[in-house]
Amino acid sequence: MSFKNIMENFSNYRKDAEMGGHHDYEHRWAMAIDLDVCTGCNACSTACYAENNLAVVGKEKFEKGQGMHWLRVERYWEDNDTREHPENGAMFLPMMCQQCGAATCEPVCPVAATYHTPDGLNAQVYNRCIGSRYCNNNCPFRVRYFNFWSYYESSWPEPLNMQLNPDLSVRDKGVMEKCTFCIQRIRVAKDLARREERKVIDGEFLTACAQACPTGAIVFGDTMNPESQVSKAWAKHQITRGPHTHTKPKDNPELRGYRIFAELNVDPSVMYLERVRETEV
């Protein structure tokens, strides 16, 4: 039975090896994040903590780099000595799992605990994970988070355990976890659509971060649906899927879209829009 699986999926496997990524997608969930609108308020990160039962590890462990923030707002400053516009301050970049089409985390897991779903997501099967942590080592974005400790009792002491989202599990120590594009919400929306015998409507649901963003910097949707907001945003900035498309064209300042580490051919699902500085206009 199992050998049959391997043989039947062999052609898919070849396609995957040659082109990168899974090819018979039902949906392709993607994002467009406008850094020009992002204020770095961390609402997305907080919403993620609430939605996805992320452990609050405490200051000490966080400083050690053992935090569990699936979505982190990275801050960058211009070099103090050379910066031309000190008034610019920090630059923000919300960084979460980019749900790569040709994800580097997937082939290295020894037990196939991370795999590519027909929705174009990199799913992490917590129950299958044995904690070799190779996936995060091979992730250029370093957006996978490992349960270095058991957080259940320290993070949600009673009655805080009542706040846990019942739609997904709490992960125990020794398991890798990461942003899922709120897969529990995707499941609910897909199930509902199937029951009502229709397609998933764009904007029917949002990820927690997109929902919480006060400035609407995060747009979430399905790029298989050409009418969706995110497809339009991608098209507007001339960013196409596929591993071999490269960074944004330099000549047109209107085209602000780019994908981080696109030059590594990982085909990320998140398009960022470059920030426009008043001083540059």
Partner 1 sequence: MSNSPHDKVLDENLKWTQINEDVIRSMQNPRKAYWISVAVCVSMFFCAILAEIYQYRMGMGTAGLNNPHMWDMYLATFVFWIGMSHAGTLLSAILHIIHAQWRKPIYRFAEAMTTFSLLTAGFFPMIHLGRIWNLYWVLPYVSDRGVWPNFRSPLSWDAFAISTYLSASALFLVIGMIPDMAVLRDHTKGWRAKVYGVLALGWRGDDRQWRNFRKTYMLMACFLIPLAVSVHSIVSSDFSMSINPGWHVTTFPPYFVAGALYSGCAAIMTLFVCLRYFFRMEDYMTLNIMEKTTKLTFAIAGVWNYLLFVEFASVWYGHSVYDKELLIAKATGDYAPVFWTMIFCSTVVPFTMAFQKLRRHMPTMFIVSLFLQLGMYTERWMIVAPTLAMSHNPHQWDILWAPVVQWAIVFGSFGWFGLLFLVFVKVFPSVSMYEVKELTLHQKEEFEEERRMREAGMFMPESATAPPLPGDEHKRPEDRVAGRPGMEGA
- Shortest distance in whole angstroms from residue 6 CB to partner 1: 8
Distance of CA 103 to the CA centre of its chain: 12
Q: Which residue stretch of 34-42, 129-137, 158-166, 244-252 sits at the interface with partner 1 (rule: CB under 8 A)?
A: 129-137
Q: Closer to partner 1 by CB, 88 or 136: give it.
A: 136
Residues 171-230 touching partner 1, rule: CB under 8 A, are 173-176
Q: How far apart are CA 260 and CA 267, in angstroms?
A: 9
CA angle 271, 102, 170 (to 5 degrees): 80
Q: Which residue stretch of 147-155, 212-220, 241-249, 273-281 sits at the interface with partner 1 (rule: CB under 8 A)?
A: 147-155
CB-CB contact of 147 with 172 (8 Å) = yes
Of 223, 221, 222, which is closest to residue 241 (Cα–Cα)?
Answer: 223
Q: In b/e form, how buried is each residue of 50-82, taking b as 16+ CB within 10 angstroms?
A: ebbbbbbbeeebeeeebbbbbbbbeeeeeeeee
Among 147, 155, 180, 228, the residue binding partner 1 under the rule CB under 8 A is 147
- Shortest distance in whole angstroms from residue 252 CB to partner 1: 25
Q: Which residue stretch of 100-108, 116-124, 182-190, 267-275 sits at the interface with partner 1 (rule: CB under 8 A)?
A: 100-108
Binding characters for partner 1, 54-93, by CB under 8 A (x = yes): -------x--xxxx----x-x-x----------------x
Residues 1-40 touching partner 1, rule: CB under 8 A, are 1-2, 5-6
Of 166, 168, 173, which is closest to residue 68 (Cα–Cα)?
Answer: 173
Interface with partner 1: number of residues (CB under 8 A): 47
Hunting for tokens 């529990």 — which residue is that? Answer: 184
Q: Closer to partner 1 by CB, 176 or 271: give it.
A: 176
**41 lies in the binding site for partner 1 (CB under 8 A):** no
Q: How far apart are CA 41 and CA 43, in angstroms?
A: 6
Q: Closer to partner 1 by CB, 91 or 193: give it.
A: 91
